[in-house]
Structure 1
Amino acid sequence: MDHDPDDEGTAQYASPACFLHELQPGFDARGVHADPVAWADVARWRKAERARLIEMRLAIPAEIRAEMAAKIVEGLDAEIGDVGGKTISVYWPFRGEPDLRPWMASVVERGGRAALPVVIEKAHPLVFRAYRPGDRLEKGVWNIPIPADGESVIPDVVISPLVGVDPANYRLGYGGGFFDRTLAALPKKPLVIGVGYDTQRIATIYPQPHDIPMDRIVTASTPA
């Protein structure tokens, strides 16, 4: 199900509304720290929250995750519209993330172009390699498959899996900083859509000056 990130009344937050008592003072109303020393406390909190959210995601049975992925696909089609002629970066699922590989294949079938993100070097932006189902793959970072021969492309749409997300569309990722570096380095701004489960919606990630919010969020709730 696709939630309006501005409609806080419908979001189900997994975390208490405020963790500021656990952090050093000096945060503004958005959660951005004014005191650089406080970043160490934010990083420590993010690490613990990341572990909690990933554990919760992995606890969802595979068949339930598949049902939710189908709902997410419906939301993506509604957000993107006609994929013909568009280059869309998806991802290879990792640690309980929604499996969008069938949808990625459908993008190609409908006249779009698919791509996968590739880590080239630590602390550097990702690159996007063109990919069609059946293309040769090789193991990348964390043994995640990546295109072995695909040419580098600039996506029109980037689909980004979430570890957590707050009402301002700030994404909690795996902590490598690749997402923000990549968006900052691209020559043109793509439409960025975060995907995940409703249980990954949290009150805040304590966004920092380097964090870049996503444009839209598509999540799905656990079937009743």
Structure 2
Amino acid sequence: MNESTAAKRGDLRRQVLELRSAQRPLEVARKSQLICATLKQIPELQRARTIMAYAAIRQEADISEFWLRLRAEDKTVVLPRVKGKELEAVRFDGWDRTRPGPFGIREPEGEPFPPELIDAVLVPGVVFDHQGYRLGYGKGYYDRFLSALPAASFFCGIAFELQLVDEVYPTGRDVRMHALVTESRIIRC
């Protein structure tokens, strides 16, 4: 990646993080509930038996209401856990079986879950474009993890409308989402 692209991506990341962090907690909660309601409508998620979700941080959309309900429907929910420079999926068996990871994010304890059994991934991010590319926090964890999953896996980016831009200046390492869900719409990519 050249310096110009890296600078553009860094600027986008900073601008959107500032916008996202300026939201009031009640606004984040309201928008998160709308996203959860929309997620229920996506056929790929309805069909999925195993879904990887995430524990929200830093004013991210909190979709735990959605994925906690999936557990009640006998679906397997896995969450990411950082191991070195990689993510691994671990079955979520309750908040009492989690601990803070290296970035302060709640991570499940237990054995790694076989990634080839993951049908769908709900992917957080800092910035998304309408083509389905995303910028995270800049370490590449999700891109490395997603690129190793089976081709049939469904990737769904989760964001607020304020996190959408025309272009995130993707590189060859960036993994494209199949869909994006915001508080007001579903975007098929």
RMSD in angstroms over aligned alpha carbons?
A: 1.8
| Amino acid in the other structure paired with 2:179 | R
| Aligned equivalents of 2:152, 2:83: Cα separation in 1 | 21
Identity across matched positions, percent: 29
User: Any gaps of 5 or more consecutive residues in structure 1?
Assistant: 1-35
Report if the CA contact (8 A) 2:39-2:45 is conserved. no
Q: Where do residues 59-208 of structure 1 align in structure 2 (5 Å cutoff)?
A: 59-80=22-43, 83=46, 86-122=49-85, 124=86, 126-154=87-115, 155-208=118-171
For normalisation by structure 1, the TM-score amounts to 0.75
| Equivalence for 2:187 | none
Q: Greater relative contact order (Cα 8 A, min sep 6): structure 1 or 2?
A: 1
2:175 corresponds to which letter in structure 1?
A: I
Whichever residue aligns with residue 211 of structure 1, its letter is: D
Give the TM-score normalised by structure 2. Answer: 0.88
Please give the alpha-carbon distance, in whole angstroms, between the structure 2 residues aligned to 1:82 and 1:140: 27
Deviation at 1:68, TM superposition (A): 0.7
Say whether the 8 Å CA contact 2:44–2:154 is kept in structure 1: no
CA contact (8 A) 2:70 2:77 kept: yes
Aligned length: 182
Q: Is the 8 A contact 1:90 1:159 kept in 2?
A: yes
Task: Compute the displacement of 1:153 (Å).
Answer: 3.3
Letter in 2 for 1:41: S
Q: Is the 8 A contact 1:97 1:196 kept in 2?
A: yes
Bigger radius of gyration among the two: 1
In the alignment, structure 1 residue 43 sits paired with structure 2 residue 6: yes
Structure 1 CA distance, aligned partners of 2:95 and 2:144?
30
Going from structure 1 to structure 2, the CA distance change for 1:78 and 1:63 (only over 3 Å counts) comes to: same
Show structure 1 runs of 4+ deviating over 3 A. Answer: 80-85
Alignment gaps of 5+ in structure 2: 185-189
Secondary structure (helix, strand or coil) at the match of 2:59 reads coil
Q: How far apart are the structure 2 equivalents of 1:212 and 1:82?
A: 19
Offset of residue 188 of structure 1: 4.8
Q: Structure 2 CA distance, aligned partners of 1:147 and 1:53?
A: 28
> 1:210 and 1:108 mapped to 2: Cα distance?
32
The reply to whether residue 218 of structure 1 matches residue 185 of structure 2 is no
